[in-house]
Amino acid sequence: MLLDVRGLRASIDGKEILKGINLQVRPGEVHAIMGPNGSGKSTFSEVLAGAPAFTVMDGEAWLNGVNLLELSPENRSHEGLFLSFQYPVEIPGVSMANFMKAAINAKRKYFGQEPLTAAEFLKLMKEKRSVVELDSKLASRSVNEGFSGGEKKRNEIFQMAMLEPKLSILDETDSGLDIDALRVVAEGVNKLHTPQNATIVITHYQRLLDYIKPDFVHVLYKGRIVRTGGPELALELEERGYDWIKNEIDAQEQ
Amino acid sequence: MNQYQQLYEENRDVLGERGDELKAFLESAAEIDKVFAPETYAVNLRRLKLPVDAAKSFKCAVPAVSTTPALVVNDIFQPSKRLPEGVTFMSLRAAAELHPEWIPASVRDDIKSAESRLNDLLWTDGALIRIGQNVRPERPLQLVNILSAPMDLMVCRRVIIVVESGADAKLLLCDHTQDSEHNYLVNELIEVSVAEGGRLSLDRVEESSPLTVRRSEMHVQVGANARFCSTSSLLTCGDSSSKINVSLDASGAEASVNGMVIASGTQTPAFHTRIRHKADHTLSNQVFKYVADGQSNCTFDGLIIVDESARFTEAYQTNHNLLASNDAKMHTEPTLEIYCDEVKCSHGATTGQLDDTALFYMRSRGIPEAEARRMLMEAFLSDVIANVGIDSLRERLRHLVERRFSALAEGSDSCADCSAINALKQE
Ligand SMILES: Nc1ncnc2c1ncn2[C@@H]1O[C@H](COP(=O)(O)OP(=O)(O)O)[C@@H](O)[C@H]1O
Ligand SMILES: [Mg+2]
């Protein structure tokens, strides 16, 4: 099992957001998580990545046999977890190149490898930039500063390409992209997909799933996965919306 | 004040006329900073050669900058080997004998402070820098002030900088303490004038020891269509207070006065700026940034005065501060005094902590927390560095700042290896 999440509960400021999530992902799989706004999709991905703002109340999360919940965010990254943020953060004054160099070399250090030389690093940047057709000018700019919405999302997938994670969680990577950018980003993700790694795609829209074909589709609502199916579930949601699921769950709660 | 009076009695012969003034001053100087009170400092009035050869052992931490350098060891001037034409860069003491007309009589009345008066009465040497009319030296000039003595020492240093009309020069002032065993008290007075159409970039770097007390006062007069730019970088200090008074005297005068501070341990850095707009169409811009760590206690107070006659003035000031620890303190006090309607003025001050979302973003990419914090602190200061006038100094400062934060991460409040990097580049 690549990712094994059992009974995960998490809160922020005393408010419980995740109310017992179970999810198993095997190598080579693509999972989609859909669900109405505010249901906890971003919270789930940030809790897995180790955001200090959230408190894990209960449950387990294992990545490739490693207990994620015991690791710092940086070590979760080294162990192969990658989160493409719904809202990538702007960091004025830190250049993309320095940011990436620090990330790559920290990972190499974690595995007892020497840092990359300047030439090796530049070569790697160039190679990975081409995966998402990222403008070379962006590499000399501050991290995400002044990037358009589309450039920010491309930049996330570029970082994913650089770090070669085992499990990538793409949180609404499609939002704010026009159709051409969406295709480029989706093709980038597909290029990075191998039988050894896995992807969790969080999205509202079927649109992205035309490009990135999921093996499983889950619906997250009120902090729980309330339904799991194949790709046809996404099509059904596209057609019928979420209300029928919401009504069903809300009725059960009463 | 007893020790100074005694000093006066014992040194009547060398002090001469100044001595009588000193005596009168001391009898009335109740308001002088209490840091001058301890009786432990020696004052080298008799120009004795102290048994140190700082010039030989000193290595500049800013070596990549190719400059025309001179040293002031404590307060004794050691000249540069070769000077560009039209440039005077000499001992103030020597200049006072050769060209007494170049030395301002005393600090101007409206800015007189007890410390600067004391400096005026006790100064023994320093430097005179004079850039002749329309002279534009290719390289920056560099004045390296070094504190190095086998005993506790008080230094009264005076620097006079005259930029004549149409001249354009860059000057780097460095302040270093050579050892961390002795107490030093520096009373420094810098007087600058930039005449019509002249330009001066004056960048300062301070790396002094925790036992160093600095009271620095800089008075700048900027003439018509002249421009004064200054960035002060305070990398390490003990108790350091710098006053920067700029007077924009004539139409079209401009000043850009910037600073950055990295404070840790129990350091107490302070900048007090006072920018006075006396004429129309004058412009001033100030950016000061502090990173306060440890139990440091930091101060910025910035005053902008716009006279009634200074129509169409623009005056801007920002002070942004980062508290890197819970025990660090920042006191900031921006003040505007505006006596004229047709002006554009703004000031803004913020004090905050590192951006948690940026920190998490970086950590989620594998950057260890300590390194991410350091990168964010460096980034915070990057726009001040970008304003530095001496091109090659910018790169060097980035390196010095990085090293300072690395040392901090390892629990050190100074950069002990400061002086050990490379020899001062002599041409
Ligand atoms: N930093 C936060 N502080 C307080 N509440 C939060 C925070 N982040 C998320 N929440 C709450 O958690 C719930 C789930 O939000 P989120 O995970 O962003 O949902 P989704 O990504 O599915 O739209 C929402 O009710 C939201 O208001
Ligand atoms: Mg979300």
DSSP run (H or E) holding B398: helix B391-409
**Per-residue pLDDT at B314 exceeds 90:** yes
pLDDT at B21: 72
Q: Residue B417: pLDDT above 50?
A: no
Position B216 in a domain = yes
User: What local confidence, expressed as pLDDT, does residue B421 receive?
Assistant: 29
Judge whether residue B422 has pLDDT over 50: no
- Tell me which residue in B363, B365, B379 faces A92 most closely, judged by beta carbons: B379
CB contact under 8 A, B382 and A89: no
Say how far apart CA B291 and CA B409 lie, in whole Å.
Answer: 13
Residue at B415 is within a domain: no
On whether any CB of chain B is under 8 Å from the CB of A76, the answer is yes
**Given 3-state DSSP classes, what are the helix, strand and coil percentages for chain B, each rounded to the nearest 5?**
25, 40, 35
Residue whose CA is closest, atom 2 of ligand 1? A12
Q: State residue B426's pLDDT score.
A: 31
Q: Does A80 touch chain B (CB under 8 A)?
A: no
The answer to whether the Cβ–Cβ distance between A72 and B363 falls below 8 Å is: yes
| pLDDT, tens only, B204-236 | 999 988 899 999 999 999 999 999 999 999 999
Contact A91 B358 (CB under 8 A): yes
A188 contacts A157 by C-beta, under 8 angstroms? yes
* Distance in angstroms (rounded) separating the CA atoms of residues B125 and B147: 14
Q: Which residues sit opposite B389 in a β-bridge?
A: none
Q: Which residue has the higher pLDDT, B7 or B98?
A: B98
pLDDT range class, residue B98, cuts 50, 70, 90: confident
Are B364 and A142 in contact (CB < 8 Å)? no
Nearest residue, CB atoms, A93 vs list B357, B360, B382:
B382
Where b means 16+ CB within 10 Å and e means fewer, A53-68 reads ebebeebebbbeeeeb
**Residue B389 domain-assigned?**
no
DSSP 8-state symbol, B421: S
Place of tokens 């086998």: B150
Query: How far is B378 from B385, CA to CA, in rounded Å?
Result: 10
Structural domains in chain A, sorted by start? 3-253 (3.40.50.300)
Kindly report the length of chain A. 254
What domain range includes position B206? Answer: 3-353+422-426
pLDDT at B62 over 90: no
Q: Please state, in angstroms and rounded to a whole number, the distance separating the CA atoms of residues B228 and B335.
A: 21
Which of B325, B146, B175, B173 lies closest to B237, judged by CA?
Answer: B175
Q: How far is CA A157 from CA A130, A139, A160, in A?
A: 11, 14, 5
Over 60: is that where the pLDDT of A12 sits? yes
User: What pLDDT, in 10s, does the model give residues A149-197?
Assistant: 889 999 999 999 999 999 999 999 998 888 888 999 999 999 999 999 9
Report the complex ipTM.
Answer: 0.97
Query: In a 3-state reduction of DSSP, which class is residue B192?
Result: strand
**Mutate which of A43, A57, A87, A171 for ligand 1 pocket (most atoms within 8 A of beta carbon):** A43
pLDDT of residue B418: 40
- How would residue B415 be classed by pLDDT, with cut points 50, 70 and 90? very low
* Average pLDDT of chain A, as a whole number: 94
Please determine, for residue B58, whether its predicted confidence score (pLDDT) is greater than 60: no
Range B309-335 average pLDDT: 95
Contact B123, B156 (CB under 8 A): yes
pLDDT digits (tens, 9 = 90+) for B401-412: 988 988 887 766
Task: Tell me the average pLDDT across A137-145.
Answer: 89
| Contact status, residue A235 vs residue A206, Cβ threshold 8 Å | yes
Is B373 part of a structural domain of the chain? Answer: no
Least confident of B23-37, B93-107, B268-282: B23-37
Give the 3-state DSSP-derived string for B32-67, with helices as H, strands as E and coil as C: CCHHHCCCCCEECCCCCCCCCCHHHHCCCCCCCCCC
Supply φ then ψ for residue A9, to 5 degrees: -125, 135
Ligand 1 atom showing the smallest separation from residue A220 Cα:
22
* Percent of chain A surpassing pLDDT 90: 85
List of residues 6+ apart from B215 with CB closer than 8 A: B33, B35, B115, B185, B186, B187, B188, B241
Whether A41 lines ligand 1, by a CB cut-off of 6 Å, is yes
**Would you call A110 and B367 a contact, using CB atoms and an 8 Å cutoff?**
no
- The answer to whether position B292 is within a domain reads yes
Q: Could you give the angle at the alpha carbon of A181 between the alpha carbons of A179 and A185, nearest 5°?
A: 115
- pLDDT recorded at residue B179: 80
Would you put residue A64 in left (φ > 0), alpha (ψ -120 to 50) or beta? left
Span A113-127, average pLDDT: 96
Q: Which helix (H) or strand (E) holds A98?
A: helix A96-110
Q: How confident is the model at residue B80 (pLDDT cuts 50, 70, 90)?
A: confident
pLDDT value, residue A13 = 95
Q: pLDDT at residue A83 above 60?
A: yes
DSSP A130-157: GGGT--GGGGGSEETTT--HHHHHHHHH
Measured between beta carbons, which residues in chain A are less than 8 angstroms from residue B364?
49-50, 73-74, 76-77, 83, 85
Residue B372 inside a domain? The answer is no
Phi–psi pair at A68, nearest 5 degrees: -60, -40
Q: What is the DSSP letter of A116?
A: P
Is B23 a residue whose pLDDT tops 60?
yes
Residue B235: inside a domain? yes
Beta carbons of A98 and B375 less than 8 Å apart: yes
With contact defined as beta carbons under 8 Å apart, do A217 and A229 qualify?
yes
DSSP lists the bridge partners of residue A15 as A12
Average of per-residue pLDDT across A112-139? 92
- The residue with greater pLDDT, B30 or B253, is B253
| pLDDT greater than 90 at residue A127 | yes
Q: Tell me how far apart the alpha carbons of residues A84 and B42 are, in angstroms, rounded to a whole number.
A: 63
Tokens representing B411?
A: 């629990």
Say yes or no: A113 contacts chain B, CB-CB below 8 A: no
Average pLDDT for B253-280: 97
Q: How far is CA B77 from CA B7, B124, B184, in A?
A: 23, 10, 18
pLDDT at A204 over 90: no
Partner A contacted by B371 (CB < 8 A): yes
Could you give the CA distance from residue B51 to residue B59 in angstroms, rounded to a whole number?
Answer: 18
In order, the DSSP letters of B102-118 are GS-SSS-GGG--HHHHH
Residues less than 5 Å from ion ligand 2, measured at CB: A 41-42, 86
Contact B13, B99 (CB under 8 A): no
Best B291, B354, B362 member to test A by mutation, with max A CBs in 10 Å, is B362
Please work out whether the CB of residue A12 comes within 6 Å of at least one atom of ligand 1: yes
Interval B45-71 mean pLDDT: 61
The count of domains in chain B is 1
Residue closest to B362 by CA, chosen among A12, A67, A211, A94: A94
**The pLDDT value given to residue B427:** 28
User: Does the pLDDT value for residue B48 go beyond 70?
Assistant: no
B347-386 pLDDT, tens digit each: 999 999 999 999 999 999 999 999 999 999 999 999 999 9
Q: What pLDDT is stored for residue B38 in this prediction? A: 59
Residue whose tokens read 């006075």: B276
Which positions in chain B touch A52 (Cβ < 8 Å)?
A: 356, 360
Contact residues for A243 (Cβ-Cβ < 8 A; gap 6+): none
Q: Which of B105-114, B208-217, B277-286 has the highest mean pLDDT?
A: B277-286
Query: pTM of this prediction?
Result: 0.86
pLDDT at B76: 81
Which ligand is the nearest neighbour of the Cα of A87?
Answer: 2
Query: For residue B205, what are the β-bridge partners?
Result: B174, B233
- The whole-angstrom separation of Cα A218 and Cα A226 is 8
The whole-angstrom separation of Cα A157 and Cα A185 is: 7
- B380–A93 CB contact, under 8 Å: yes
Q: Is residue B158 part of a domain?
A: yes
